[in-house]
Amino acid sequence: MSVITRFAPSPTGRLHVGNIRTALHNFLFARKHGGRFLLRIDDTDRERSREEFVDAIRDDLAWMGLTAGSEVRQSERFDLYEREFERLKAAGRVYACYETPEELELRRKVLLGRGLPPVYERNTADSLLPDDRQPHWRFKLDHDRPIEWTDLIRGQQRFDAKLLSDPVVRREDGSWLYLLPSVIDDVDLGITHIVRGEDHVTNSAAQIQMFEALGAKPPQFAHEALLVASEGKLSKRLGSYGAEHLREEGVEPMAMLSLLARIGTSQPVEPIASLDELASDFDFAHFGRAPAHFDPHDVELLNARLLHRLDFSAVKSRLPAEAAEEDWLLLRPNLERLSDFEPWFGVLKGDVDVPELAHDERLLMRDAASVADGLDWNVEPWRALTGELKASSGKKGRELFHPLRLALTGRESGPEMAGLVARMGKDRAIQRLRAAAKR
């Protein structure tokens, strides 16, 4: 079994959330069934296909762990396309057309004005051919046969070929549109499954006849519902939320992938730590037909929940070298990004800004330093410290705990103080309390 994901290099050079989702589903399907996941770079458009954009695609996929077993580039396969094109031309399945875009648009408006579908009308055999124009080329659909297949998500599909326009497969300048080269690639590479958005359903119908015209069995298709956001369909042309934004924000790739693997399915959306775990229960039977609503805030929530579950071994290489497992277990419940760890680690092991306290709070910190000096720091020091201060000062609640937190951490809020105080050590705690008492 082989599945393929395709990317056309874009001027942004980065993957947006929609094509990340499609690549992920191709990858998970291949991983679950022991198949090959292939990457095809659609770089026939030389103006758009600069090498740095291709490198950015590879970089984004590697960051997410979506490693392809092999890669092909369409710009290196022109000889194959030319050979198969000539074979289809000899069989009468591709033909030359000479209409200008303006003529086609006028004809489309006429048909719509008559209440007819705007389907391309083939010229008759005796039509005059202009001498001053280069032709573009269309694939000739077989109008006498309905196009049918069983979609892995949408179920039974049926198209009347007469209601489809013969698709353009080659431009006047000889450059390729993606429909025919993609089919030629899929035949040559032995692709068995294709996962794509439902906006490609009509293209798939036309491509099924292309497979058959080339003497090949069409692959199985899975057309998934589109992602939508508050402003409507997500589009890479609109610079939608994607890999570059995620990386800049310090989001774990598995937070995004966990959401995209389950959104629009009957399965619960929850943080999953590995691609293998995501692949183990990946099944198109779980996918619905309704548009999948995407909210970037959900990624942020999943990112925090994922961090709260990660073992120290999973993050050790990205933490300060001095950080220990005890530090990670103490701080991870308070993290939204992994980058939040280092400032909190500094609270444990470094210096904090001495806060400005009111006069009575400074007196309380002086007493707290004295009490801390006499405590056994190995036996619940926070509980012992606050217990003695409560008894001697009569303070409780926020009046007691808030100035102590400010003095010891320099923060208004954060992890539980019991763990922080024990982990920062007696000497550091006393030093901070004395410093706060002198402000």
Helix/strand/coil (H/E/C) assignment for every residue in 202-215:
HHHHHHHHHHHHCC
Cβ(330)–Cβ(423) under 8 Å?
A: yes
Q: Is 334 helix (H, G, I), strand (E, B) or coil?
A: helix
Residue type at position 233? K
Which residues touch 419 (CB under 8 Å, ≥6 apart)?
330
**What is the phi-psi region of residue 277: left when phi exceeds 0, alpha when psi lies from -120 to 50, beta otherwise?**
alpha
Amino acid occupying residue 413: S
Check residue 98 and report its DSSP letter.
Answer: -
Over the range 177-197, which residues count as b (16 or more CB within 10 Å of their CB) and which as e? bbbbbbbbbbbeeebbbbbbb
Q: Which residue has the tokens 């069934």?
A: 33
For 336-400, give the DSSP string. Answer: SSGGGHHHHHHHHHS--PPPP--HHHHHHHHHHHHHHHTS-TTS-HHHHHHHHHHHHH---THHH
Q: Is 236 known to sit in a ligand binding site? A: yes
Three-state DSSP at 158 gives strand
Instruction: Determine the 3-state secondary structure of 28 from DSSP.
Output: helix
Q: Could you report how far apart the first and last alpha carbons of the chain are, in Å?
A: 70
Annotated binding site: 236
Annotated binding site for ATP: 236
